[in-house]
Amino acid sequence: MAKPATPTFRAQAANLVQPLETAPHLGHGRTKGLGAASMIKSELIARLASENPHLTQRDVERVVTVILDCMTDALEKGGRVELRGFGAFSVRARPARAGRNPRTGDTVSVKAKRVPFFKSGKELRERLNAD
């Protein structure tokens, strides 16, 4: 008796991917604010790949990675990344300060640091507040 053929990894993965409209939820359970689901990088890549069938998932992953790397590089150099209608990413400096250890209450020094900052664009704010 012949062994049944085992499906390839690609075939198994294809069975796991569902179109966004039929997926039970967007995200993996993390919610914030009004109970809206979140989206992680892999879900963004899967959605873009399903909306662009002429591109492979690997190609879409490369594009997303390159875009995020370029944005990160610009911010590392102290630059600003502006996506019209969506928003602008920039870097803000936080000065050194005295903090407290919540467990012991001891004063600790917190070093100065740079943190990413996002300011939403007008179109994004309007879409979020559309009734």
Q: Give residue-wise pLDDT tens across range 26-57.
A: 445 555 555 567 899 999 999 999 999 999 99
Domain positions in the chain: 9-77, 81-131
pLDDT given at position 33 = 53
Q: What is the pTM of this model?
A: 0.65
Domain 81-131 coded CATH 1.10.10.10: no
Within 8 A by CB and 6+ apart from 30, the residues are 37, 38
Higher pLDDT, 7 or 103: 103
Closest CA to 86 of 121, 35, 39: 121
pLDDT given at position 34 = 53
CB atoms within 10 A of CB 45: 19
pLDDT given at position 2 = 52
User: Per residue in 81-131, pLDDT tens?
Assistant: 999 999 999 999 999 999 999 999 999 999 999 999 999 999 999 999 997
Distance CA 67, CA 62 (A): 9
